[in-house]
Every structure is written in C-alpha cells, then in structure tokens.
C-alpha cells in the first residue's frame, strides 16, 4: 500500500474505503529491484511500492493461487482491484 494511504508503522488506513475516484488510472509501472513494482497514478501520487508477494495475494487468477486450487475463493478481490 501507498505510504500516503496507509500508516507505515501501524498499517492503519489513512483514507476512507471507497474514496478513491473510479477515474484514477495507472499511468506508469516501474520495477523496484527484483522484488516489487511501483505505480504512478493519474491523480499524481506515486509513493507506493507493491511487492510481487503482495500483488499475488490480491490476484485471483489460477497462476497466482496457492497450489491445489482450481479457482479463486468467493472472497477474492475482482481482477485489477487494489482496495484491501
């Protein structure tokens, strides 16, 4: 999660769930070493670092699911969703 959106040390959400406008789009993706991605958003913020491990946990596709599962659980986020 972005440091502007979540308190770094406590993990407490700083923004209200659902307050991110649907018009915000990803405008750039950059690699962070060999372990994460950084995104730039159309609203101008770009301070988050998202580890591959974290992104895989968000992804409901069969390639990212734990071994043995054929489909995502009912509680899996929608593809492309970054709300946690």
Domains of the chain with CATH codes: 1-70 (3.30.2020.30)
**Residues comprising the chain, all counted:** 84
Higher pLDDT, 67 or 82: 67
User: What pLDDT does residue 78 have?
Assistant: 56
Q: How far apart are CA 61 and CA 58, in angstroms?
A: 9
Single out the residue of 22, 26, 48, 27 nearest to residue 37, CA to CA.
Answer: 48
pLDDT tens-digit series, residues 17-62? 778 788 888 899 999 999 999 999 898 888 788 898 888 887 777 7
User: What pLDDT does residue 77 have?
Assistant: 56
> 31 and 47 in contact (C-beta within 8 Å)?
no
> 47 and 4 in contact (C-beta within 8 Å)?
yes
> 35 and 52 in contact (C-beta within 8 Å)?
yes
User: What pLDDT does residue 33 have?
Assistant: 92
User: What pLDDT does residue 84 have?
Assistant: 44
User: What pLDDT does residue 70 have?
Assistant: 58
Dmax over CA atoms of the chain, in Å, equals 40
């Amino acid at each position: 999660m972005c440091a502007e959106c979540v308190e770094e040390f406590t993990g407490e959400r700083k923004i209200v769930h659902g307050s991110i406008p649907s018009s915000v789009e990803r405008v750039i993706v950059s690699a962070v070493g060999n372990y994460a991605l950084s995104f730039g958003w159309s609203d101008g913020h770009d301070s988050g670092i998202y580890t591959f491990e974290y992104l895989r946990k968000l992804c409901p596709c069969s390639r990212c699911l734990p071994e043995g599962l054929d489909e995502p659980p009912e509680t899996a986020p929608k593809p492309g969703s970054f709300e946690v």
